[in-house]
Structure 1
Amino acid sequence: MDEKKIEEELKKIWDETPNLHSDAEKEASWESFQSKAFAPKKKDFKIWRYAAAAAVIIFMLIGTGIYFSRSPLQENVYAASNVIENTTSKIKTVFLPDSSKVELSPNSKIVYANNFESNRKIEIHGEAYFKVKKDKKHPFQVFCNETTTTVLGTSFTVKEYTKNGAIIALYEGSVQMNVKGQDKKWILEPGDKFTYGNEIAAVAEFDRFIDFDNEKLTALGTYIEENYGYKMAIPQEYYNQRITVRINKKEDLKTIVQLISEMYNLNFEVNDELKEITFQ
């Protein structure tokens, strides 16, 4: 391959950098490199020098996450370097740098950038529940296959669906849904479920609450154990105590425990190591 051909190939590689670099910046950077790498040389200048220059360029671009920029994450979350994966059989709780909470389901993972607090973009593979910290200046975006969920502060679940689809269920707040290649936007309200699959989008209602209607307090204890993994111990005289309450299915455990404490004037102690809640 002659020098001219090599120069043309390197220019193509150089121009493949993503949109965070302007065309003017790309051109100026290329001209600077070109003047050094392709300045007139003696006739015995070896072609391997050009090959070495190409290798250096590609290595540098790969190292900064620019050269291979084909995945949805790298198109939207540049230089992503934080990967959290749940390889266990239980839900894994993760707190992001902006204090947002993620409950990561088994066999799932999330990826986000180093500058997450100012670039709140995250990619999900599998399923997760998000409770987002409010920040009007920095919208929170979740990318799942071909869907983008944009929020300011809310709680919702995201789950991969079919090859390129996703299911988003909103529990609190408001979110905007976008689909790759479509101009239409969907605004969800609490209790809405957005489903996208096989290039079809639909919004339907779902039941985001669980009701305990004059049931024994122990029934609520069973619900807590099954959904939060904590055993609840109450004084024996409260075993037949009845309770009527509506609970958001994604309510914080602390909120539920405090509610029981106030309703029955009980003190409580939470042991995170033993996964036990004791009322007395």
Structure 2
Amino acid sequence: MDKENFDDEFEKLWNETPSSHSEDVKKASWEEFHSKTFSKKKRKSTPWRYLAAASVLLFVLIGTGIYFNNESENESVVVAENVIENLTDKIKYVVLPDSSKVELTPNSKISYGTDFALNRKIEIDGEAYFKVKKDKQHPFQVFCDETTTTVLGTSFIVKESENEEVTVELFEGSVQMSIKGQDQKWILKPGEKFTYGNKTASVAEFSRFIDFDNQKLSVLCQYIEKTYGYKVNIPKENLDQNITIRINKKEDLKTIVQLISEMYNLNFEINEDLKQITFQ
């Protein structure tokens, strides 16, 4: 199965209606939620992290039209009903219920609620590249430590370092940055990077492109292999030909492959099982 068909099947799974829960499960979930939420001891984690145990309860409340909304923008509750973690040493590709896509870096994790299509809030631990589907009626929010990234449709990277410094790099579109407990907001443009650490925020430029200036095609093939993990086979007579091109560092692989095909009048085949691209 190729990646496109895989994505379609994966998306269908997300859209399936979850099964009903028994009364015993609902009761146990409520008791655990109540004991944790109203505990006298303050927890370091944000409220929406430890509300994961209340997911069954919220199903009942939402089903009856009852909900609570007394949090500020940076304290909105996210019920972590769905948790996806990348425990491998390779990038994990995820399709969210709203058709947005995520490239999850190894040792990273994302969490989001069952009503994600209508309430597009997601938490990240680690690093991930987001390609967000446009939906002006439902802004897409990414929570990382004390920062919130709000978007309508764009592509960007969010990552948190070991010393809890959060960095957001914008490749396309526009995002709004905010910090918990602060009124100030930052609007990023493509090519800008927002950094927050030690209670200090800053915005700077970063290079979102990589340039190949009159370099051999073999160099571009090496870049594809290193960046995307696909072995590239190309006729020997083309390897020493020169190419000048600028590529967005998060460009879709197929776009690059099609460009090479047109420039050098070559046919190509992508083998997803072998992670191999063959030009001829």
TM class, shorter-chain normalised? 0.7 to 0.9
SS of alignment partner, residue 226 of structure 1: helix
Provide the rounded CA distance (Å) in 1 between the counterparts of 2:123 and 2:34: 19
Partner of 1:189: 189
1:260 maps to 2:260: yes
Is the CA contact 1:73–1:123 (under 8 Å) kept in the aligned structure 2? no
Amino acid at match of 1:108: S
Q: TM-score, normalised on structure 2?
A: 0.75
Match of 1:60 in 2: 30
Distance 1:203 1:78, change over 3 A: closer
Corresponding letter in the other structure for 2:279: F
In the TM superposition, 1:49-88 aligns within 5 A as: 59-62=29-32, 67=37, 71-74=46-49, 75-88=75-88
Say if 1:146 and 1:164, in contact at 8 Å, map to a contact too. no
Q: Secondary structure at the match of 1:210?
A: strand
Instruction: Please report how far the alpha carbon of residue 78 of structure 1 lies from its aligned counterpart in structure 2 after TM superposition.
Output: 3.7
Distance across 2 between alignment mates of 1:180 and 1:77? 13
Describe the superposition over 1:129-180 as per-residue Cα deviations: whole angstroms up to 9, x where unpaired. Answer: 1111111111100000000000011111001135553100001110000001
CA distance in 1, matches of 2:113, 2:130: 17
Deviations 1:34-82 (A, max 9, x none): xxxxxxxxxxxxxxxxxxxxxx978525369983796253453443210
Q: Helix, strand or coil for the counterpart of 1:80?
A: coil
In the superposition, the TM-score normalised over structure 1's length comes to 0.75
> Does the CA-based 8 Å contact 1:58-1:67 persist in structure 2?
no
Q: 1:78-227 alignment to 2 at 5 Å? A: 78-161=78-161, 163-227=163-227
Alpha carbons 1:77, 1:113 under 8 Å: kept = no
Supply the AA of the counterpart residue of 1:232. V
Residue 78 and residue 143 in structure 1: after superposition, are their counterparts in 2 closer, same or farther (change >3 A)? closer
Matched residues in 2 for 1:250 and 1:152: separation?
A: 19
- The letter for the 2-side match of 1:71 is T
Instruction: Show structure 1 runs of 4+ deviating over 3 A.
Output: 56-59, 61-70, 72-75, 161-165
Structure 1 residues 98, 183: CA separation in 2 closer, same or farther (over 3 Å shift)?
same
Instruction: Note the aligned Cα RMSD (angstroms).
Output: 2.1
- For CA contacts below 8 A with separation 6 or more, give which structure has more relative contact order: 2
Structure with bigger gyration radius: 1
Return closer, same or farther for 1:163/1:239 CA change in 2, 3 Å cut-off. closer
Structure 2 CA distance for partners of 1:134 and 1:65, relative to 1, 3 Å: farther
Partner of 2:231: 231
In structure 2, relative to structure 1, the CA distance for the partners of 1:267 and 1:64 (3 Å cut) is farther
Post-superposition offset of 1:90 = 1.1
Gap runs ≥5 in structure 1 = 1-55
* Secondary structure, counterpart of 2:226 in structure 1: helix
2:67 match: none
Number of aligned residue pairs: give it: 225
For 1:118, the aligned partner's letter is L
In structure 1, distance between residues paired with 2:35 and 2:48: 11
Judged with a 3 Å threshold, the aligned counterparts in structure 2 of structure 1 residues 146 and 72 are, in CA distance, closer, same or farther, namely farther
What is the CA–CA distance in structure 2 between the aligned matches of 1:82 and 1:247, rounded to whole Å? Answer: 34
CA contact 2:166–2:196 (8 Å) conserved in 1: yes
* Alpha-carbon distance in structure 1 between the residues aligned to 2:166 and 2:84: 20
